[in-house]
């Protein structure tokens, strides 16, 4: 069987199908919510949905970097907890200006990423367990800041990161657009992005072709820590007080977001993650606005995660069809 350029360039039906399916699903969900609740997607609730999407998509993008390089992170939500409390502590107890506090918190979140990254890349610790351990240390040190009490944010300037508006659009949405825009540009248009994907595909060949694999892994974990710190700050500022367990429950949602993106675009990528984050956030928020209990949102998210994983398997079968039969047999063995 000859593979001519036309077959290679032509996007197969299996490749386009998920994009169509998920777009239709997203529109369908919005329409259903709109019919059931006339108040859904009014100008005020659009911003609250976008706010939620900003929180989830930033954390999920951090996770995307780590999944792209073929590692798994179980610590990002715990780092987010710690960073959020650190942010409140810096402003209220230390009295630092909010802008500097934001910068310091991002550095703080990045430091946990540095620790995991060095342990996983240089010392070759297994990624899942190491991230759980580092995450638990981060979570424990969150209690050192808050002393196991709420840190209340009284002044408007302290909550500004969640509530300030630039041209009537809330600040988190601007931050999401700028940060994720930069991430998208790096991953899709620059050499660094190619390096991430090649490390994920095969670290050995990446190393042999002259990529500093350890550095890429450390950068990915740093980005994971920094981006989830944004989520921690948004969610704590939004609720008006700093608590250690604020971002504890975002883990399944972020994994759903990344894997939905993977299912749609056939690779873990930034735009896919944003799409996935929008889908899961709209479902969760829509169900919350219908005053359904929160756990139904969790259940639906878990089901979507499983469906997304199933659809991402379609890619595998699709590729197999394109490879000549003798070769695919060898690969199977």
Partner 1 sequence: MNKVLKTLFRAEFVLFYVLIFVFLVFCILAGPAFYSSFNITNILKASGPLAIMLYGVTWVVASGKTDVAFPEIGSLTSMTFAYIYLAGSSSVMAAIFGIGAGLAMGLVSAILVIKFKFHPLISTIAVSTAGGALAISISGGSAIKLAAIANKTFLYSLCRQQIGPFPMIFIIAIVIAAIMWFIQDKTKFGQYIYAIGDNPQAVKEAGVPTWKINLILYIVSALCAAFAGLVYTITVYTSGQPIMGTSFFLNGFTMVFLGALAIKLGKCNVIGTLISAIILSCLTNGLTQLGAHYSLTQLSKGILLLVGVGVVTFTRRKRIGRTGLLKYE
Could you give the angle at the alpha carbon of 273 between the alpha carbons of 197 and 127, nearest 5°?
A: 55
Q: Is 201 in the site for partner 1 (CB under 8 A)?
A: no
Residue 115 beta carbon to partner 1: minimum distance, rounded to whole angstroms: 9
Question: CB-wise, 231 or 284, nearer to partner 1?
Answer: 284
Characterize the bridge pairing of strands 241-242 and 151-152: antiparallel
Pick the binder of partner 1 from 303, 321, 325, 327 (CB under 8 A).
303
Say how far apart CA 5 and CA 26 lie, in whole Å: 34
Residue 199, SS3 per DSSP: helix
Helix axes 76-89, 98-121, angle to 10 degrees: 150
Q: Is 149 in the site for partner 1 (CB under 8 A)?
A: no
Stretch touching partner 1 by CB under 8 A, among 40-48, 133-141, 179-187, 324-332: 133-141
Pick the binder of partner 1 from 24, 36, 94, 129 (CB under 8 A).
129
Residue 167 beta carbon to partner 1: minimum distance, rounded to whole angstroms: 38
Say how far apart CA 82 and CA 77 lie, in whole Å: 9
Residue 241 beta carbon to partner 1: minimum distance, rounded to whole angstroms: 18
Say how far apart CA 280 and CA 94 lie, in whole Å: 37
Token duo for residue 176? 């999401």
Q: How far is CA 309 from CA 65, 155, 261, 301, 314, in A?
A: 18, 44, 10, 12, 9
Q: Is 192 in the site for partner 1 (CB under 8 A)?
A: no
Q: How far is CA 160 from CA 90, 91, 163, 170, 269, in A?
A: 15, 12, 5, 9, 30
Q: Is 113 in the site for partner 1 (CB under 8 A)?
A: no
Residues 222-261 that bind partner 1 (CB under 8 A): 248, 251-252, 255, 259
Question: CB-wise, 23 or 209, nearer to partner 1?
Answer: 209
Residue 78 beta carbon to partner 1: minimum distance, rounded to whole angstroms: 9
Site string for partner 1, 202-221 (x = CB under 8 A): -xx--xx----xx-------
Binding site for partner 1 (CB under 8 A): 72, 74, 119, 123-126, 128-130, 132-137, 139-144, 148, 203-204, 207-208, 213-214, 248, 251-252, 255, 259, 293, 295-296, 298-299, 301-303, 305-306, 309-310, 313
């Amino acid at each position: 069987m000859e593979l001519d350029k036309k077959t290679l360039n032509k996007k197969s039906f299996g490749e386009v199908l998920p994009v169509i399916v998920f777009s239709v699903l997203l529109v369908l969900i919005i329409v259903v919510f709109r019919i059931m609740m006339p108040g859904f997607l009014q100008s005020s609730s659009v911003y609250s949905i976008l706010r939620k999407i900003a929180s989830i998509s930033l954390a999920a993008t951090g996770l995307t970097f780590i999944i792209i390089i073929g590692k798994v992170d179980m610590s990002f939500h715990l780092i987010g907890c710690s960073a959020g409390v650190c942010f409140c502590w810096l402003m209220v107890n230390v009295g630092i200006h909010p802008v500097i506090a934001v910068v310091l918190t991002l550095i703080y979140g990045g430091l946990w990423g540095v620790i995991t990254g060095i342990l996983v890349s240089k010392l070759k610790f297994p990624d899942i367990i190491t991230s759980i351990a580092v995450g638990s240390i981060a979570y424990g040190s969150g209690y050192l800041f808050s002393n196991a009490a709420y840190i209340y944010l009284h002044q408007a300037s302290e909550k500004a990161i969640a509530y300030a508006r630039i041209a009537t659009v809330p600040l988190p949405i601007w931050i999401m657009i700028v940060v994720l825009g930069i991430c998208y540009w790096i991953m899709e248009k620059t050499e660094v992005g190619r390096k991430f994907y090649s490390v994920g595909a095969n670290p050995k060949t990446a190393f042999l072709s002259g990529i500093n694999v350890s550095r890429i892994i450390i950068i990915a974990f740093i980005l994971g820590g920094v981006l989830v710190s944004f989520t921690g700050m948004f969610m704590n500022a939004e609720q008006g007080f700093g608590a250690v367990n604020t971002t504890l429950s975002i883990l399944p949602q972020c994994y759903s977001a990344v894997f939905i993106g993977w299912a749609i675009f056939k690779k873990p990528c930034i735009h896919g993650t944003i799409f996935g984050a929008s889908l899961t956030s709209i479902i969760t928020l829509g169900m919350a606005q219908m005053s359904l209990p929160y756990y139904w949102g969790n259940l639906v998210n878990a089901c979507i995660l499983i469906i997304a994983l199933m659809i991402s398997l379609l890619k595998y079968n699709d590729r197999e069809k394109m490879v000549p039969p003798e070769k695919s047999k060898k690969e199977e063995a």
